[in-house]
Amino acid sequence: MRRDIRLHDNHALYKALNAELPVLILFIFDTDILDELPDDDARLNIIHQELKKLNRKLKRHNSAVLVRHGKPDDVFDAILNEFDVNAVYFNEDYEPYAVQRDQTVKRRLGKQNVQCYSFTDQVVASPDSILKDDGTAYRVFTPYMKAWRKHFKLQDIPDYPSEKYLENLAKSDAAFPDLESMGYTTQPVKLPDHNWTEKTVQQYEDTRDIPAENGTSRLSVHLRFGFVSIRRIYRKSWNLSDVFVNELIWREFYMMILYHFPDVVDKAFKPAYDNIRWRNNEAEFKRWCSGETGFPIVDAGMRQLNETGYMHNRLRMITASFLVKDLLIDWRWGEAYFAKKLLDYDLAANNGGWQWAAGSGCDAAPYFRIFNPYSQQKKFDPDMAYIRRWVPEIDSADYPEPMLDHKAARIRALDVYKEGLG
């Protein structure tokens, strides 16, 4: 298991449980990833908690999740010495590191005559399944979405009821390690509840941009780690809201882009945008990070992120536009800050969103589209209910003056972009 920490509708688990041999579930705390994170990372705590819940369910079937800590190569070497392994089943991951890791592990297992079977699970459309007529990847969302919807109808989205075959699990009483034994720190953080209901999806088009309302599904963390099945989300939402389903397709579009164009991790999708001369003022960046810019809607979004590990999607666009356009700070700085703070951090979506805001991405907002923080506030938080929740000192002398003049900053951004783009 990697990004599929669940027993229900799990594609690889379903196929494994319906093969000939007993199945042992493995999870690796991958040090190649975790060594880059702080020892008390909130996401690490959430993964550990959810694995612990999963392990309790496995105990009812006299089984357990085998938890290992280390480099995947080394872990599999040890497992091959410990168990008689016939095959390894796993669900695909499309991030550049994951693709490379999986290829390396497959080669190593192949030398030991261990079969490897991989499956599509975190998306409905694997990155190679929806391509243009000439076999190349789409670069614009709308034609991709239309091709996706032409390819997949409701009846085409399968179900893999792995939960029905748990009697085929291998017997195991493997101990479940705590985080401290692996060198990490337990934090009092828990998985945020989602708000995915029929009513939320039906009203999504009308409520999704109002941050003061509970108008979004809050599924992002659950989808990021596979605590829920994306296929079941599609099926139950299909006839309730086209807008909501299209947002799920956006998620798949960005994963496809990352898979086919891995250079977007640290380069602009549109190369000309790497010529922008960013100001990259560190003091101004610090004010943006801490929510002390003097622009209430921007500060509210940043404070929500810092306090909860979540930010409403409309605010992600507003805060990103402010950083790259008003402050002329490299989108990579903002992307890295979000990557550090977001519980739902997903490389494909985070990169796609930031490059969209900067104008440098596939199907991005044009560079001359610069969000006005005041008009965004007036349109999406007119009563300041959201702002007052996160910026309680808004009406007092303690709240800072705006750190810049937005109109002047807009003109400056247009000039810098025009110069950089030639």
CATH code for the domain defined by 1-122: 3.40.50.620
Is 278 tagged catalytic?
yes
Predicted TM-score (pTM) of this structure: 0.96
Catalytic-residue membership of 288: no
The pLDDT assigned to 343 comes to 97
Tens of pLDDT along the chain (422 residues) come to: 999 999 999 999 999 999 999 999 999 999 999 999 999 999 999 999 999 999 999 999 999 999 999 999 999 999 999 999 999 999 999 999 999 999 999 999 999 999 999 999 999 999 999 999 999 999 999 999 999 999 999 999 999 999 999 999 999 999 999 999 999 999 989 999 999 999 999 999 999 999 999 999 999 999 999 999 999 999 999 999 999 999 999 999 999 999 999 999 999 999 999 999 999 999 999 999 999 999 999 999 999 999 999 999 999 999 999 999 999 999 999 999 999 999 999 999 999 999 999 999 998 788 899 999 999 999 999 999 999 999 999 999 999 999 999 999 999 999 999 999 98
Concerning whether 390 is annotated as a catalytic residue, the answer is no
Q: Which residue among the candidates 168, 195, 246, 313 is catalytic per the annotation?
A: 313
Domain residues of the chain, as ranges?
1-122, 124-159+198-260, 265-421
Encoding tokens for residue 284?
């101004």
For 101, the enclosing helix (H) or strand (E) is helix 96-111
Catalytic choice (250, 333, 356, 390): 250
CATH number, domain 265-421: 1.10.579.10
Q: Is 62 a catalytic residue?
A: no
How many helices (DSSP H) and strands (DSSP E) are in the chain?
19, 4
Active-site residue, 196 included: no
331 is catalytic: yes
The burial of 366, by beta-carbon neighbours within 10 Å (0-12 exposed, 13-18 middle, 19 or more buried), is given as exposed
Residue with tokens 């990070």: 289
Which of these is catalytic: 196, 238, 288, 331?
Answer: 331
What pLDDT, on a 0 to 100 scale, did the predictor assign at position 362?
A: 92
Q: Which of 195, 205, 278, 306 is catalytic?
A: 278
Which H or E run contains 66?
strand 66-70
Q: Point out the catalytic residue in the list 247, 292, 306, 372.
A: 247
**pLDDT tens-digit map of 122-139:** 999 999 999 999 999 999
Enter the tokens of residue 213: 């309302």
pLDDT of residue 145: 98
Fold of the domain built from segment(s) 124-159+198-260: 1.25.40
Number of neighbouring beta carbons within 10 Å of residue 415: 10
Q: Which pairing describes strands 115-119 and 26-30: parallel, antiparallel, or unpaired?
A: unpaired
Q: Are strands 26-30 and 66-70 parallel, antiparallel or unpaired?
A: parallel
Residue 291 and residue 387: Cα distance in Å, rounded?
A: 11
Chain centroid to CA 183:
25
Q: Give the number of other CB atoms < 10 A from CB of residue 260.
A: 16
